[in-house]
Structure 1
Amino acid sequence: MRFIKHWKAVLLSLTIVATVFLIWDAIFTHNGVWGFNPDYHLPFLLFGMPIEEWMFFFCIPYASIFIHYSLEYFKPNLLIPQSITRAITITIIVILIPILIYNFGKAYTTVNYLFLIVLLVVSFFYGIEHLRRFYIAFLIILIPFFIVNGILTGTGLEEPIVWYNNEENLGIRLLTIPVEDIGYAFTMLFGNVFLIEKFKKKE
């Protein structure tokens, strides 16, 4: 598989996506859209965020996209037909647009779904081939996602590690996980895959 041979593309992609998400994260933390329980992290903060949060945007995407590329290596023919991939993408966009319009102004919902819709529209025209596999990989990624994110948001704990202001989201939880987190994860992870593929072509 030798995933390491594309380290430049992966590192560059991780850095670009992490920068965008860290800026978003810092603004939301500052404005109380979400926050972090100090009982669960080190006392070192940078722009109001724990060091662990900074590491999150490199470690979690790397581990997740490795799942995607492992699937590509071991199951190269496991792809959704292009027509179905386009239909799935259009359906998600059509569902998200009215949710975004109706809830416009709720910070997490608005920014999250705006980013996701833009990514899906761009990918519909320029990255549909990568979505054919990523939709499958994302279903696999959701397994550890629900376990880890469930714990972070309070499943099995007296208090959550990461808390959310429900005034800034839809208020819909999957166990303890805000439903927006799924879109957040998709944007962060496929954003990396999309950029990696572009950078690999330049290599």
Structure 2
Amino acid sequence: MSLYLWIIFGTIVFPFLLSFDKKIHFYTHWKTGFPAILLVGLFFLVWDNYFTVHEVWGFNSKYVQGIYLFRLPLEEVLFFLVVPYACLFVYEVIKGYFPNLKLDLLGRAFAFAMVLSGLLLTIFYLKNWYTMTACSLSSLLIIGIHFRLKAQWFNYFALAFLVCLIPFLIVNGALTGFFTDEPVVWYSESHIVGIRIGTIPLEDLYYNLSMLLPIVFIHEALKKHKKKS
């Protein structure tokens, strides 16, 4: 089994097994979670494939199985199912175990920090495809969902995102060469700022936020519709 596939397996095994926990019973959210993951994942697969074709990033053949969907290895396709599932699981666990947290200050601080930094990075690095797209999209999503729509669940999303930074650093570190001589996923230096958290490009934070926030938005919208019906 390839290194990338082992990373995927390690990412999903505990969230999946704990999905049947008696308090949270995350499996009951599959009817709203999976449609959200698949819908957003389709968009990101197209984006991912386009950037791979144009060599904004790419994959080391030494660490993948060799099965491809267009230009994307099987493991990369699974990434867009496994990582959102794990993060959505963390989000629901935090909501379930800590339903009365006062998170207004955290939510506002998180939103302002991500929007301000995202917009500044977009303005100053317009020619960097990865920087510009990831940072601008994450900023626009927060502006629309938090500041305009005032989604009540956003504060819990902010906390869940910060909690997920711990496994994020481990998983993305493994993918970007922190534990290996060569990275599983490489990035073109001409399309990133060059600031890295260990071996992880700064843009990955904004990219992951851009992926996870609309998933939670759709998930919560479907839950609300389900309750009404």
Partner of 1:41 in structure 2? 64
Contact 2:106–2:158, Cα closer than 8 Å, also in 1:
no
CA distance in 1: counterparts of 2:173 and 2:109, whole angstroms: 30
- Alignment correspondent of 1:92: 114
Query: Is 1:183 matched up with 2:206?
Result: yes
Larger deviation, residues 8-17 vs 121-130: 121-130
Contact 2:121 2:132 in 1 (8 A): no
Question: Could you say which structure has the greater relative contact order, defined with CA pairs below 8 angstroms and 6 or more residues apart?
Answer: 1
1:147 aligns with 2:188: no
Q: 1:157-198: per-residue Cα shift (whole Å, max 9, x none)?
A: 110000000100101111100001011111211221111001
For 1:174 and 1:15, the matched residues in 2 are separated by 29
1:41 Cα offset (Å): 0.6
Residue 198 in structure 1 maps to residue 198 in structure 2: no
Q: Which residue of 2 aligns with 1:12?
A: 35
Alignment partner of 1:129: what SS? coil
Q: Which segments of 5 or more consecutive residues in structure 1 lack a partner in the other structure? A: none
Q: How far apart in 1 are the matches of 2:55 and 2:153? A: 35
| Higher alpha-carbon deviation: 4-13 or 15-24 | 4-13
CA distance in 2, matches of 1:156, 1:119: 33
Q: Extract unaligned runs of 5+ from structure 2.
A: 1-23
The Cα shift of 1:56 comes to 0.5
Which amino acid counterpart does residue 144 of structure 2 have in structure 1? V
Distance 1:122 1:128 in 2: 9
Aligned counterpart for 1:75 among listed residues 84, 89, 98: 98
Q: Structure 2 counterpart of 1:16, which letter?
A: L
Please tell me the root mean square deviation across aligned C-alpha atoms, in Å: 1.4
Match of residue 127 from structure 2: 105
**Are residue 164 (structure 1) and residue 187 (structure 2) matched?**
yes
Residue 31 of structure 1 corresponds to 54
Identity of matched residues, %: 36
Deviation at 1:156, TM superposition (A): 2.0
State how far apart, in whole Å, the 2-side matches of 1:85 and 1:163 are: 32
The CA deviation at 1:135 is: 1.4
What is the CA deviation profile of residues 47-77 of structure 1, one whole-angstrom value per residue up to 9, with x for unaligned ones?
A: 1110111011001110111011001101111
Kept in 2, the 8 Å contact 1:86–1:128? The answer is no
Q: Give the TM-score, by structure 1 length.
A: 0.94
Change (3 A) 1:54 1:70: same
Cα distance per residue 1:76-129 (max 9 Å; x no partner): 112412x65235423432232222111112110011012101110111222442
Q: In 1, distance between residues paired with 2:73 and 2:219?
A: 27
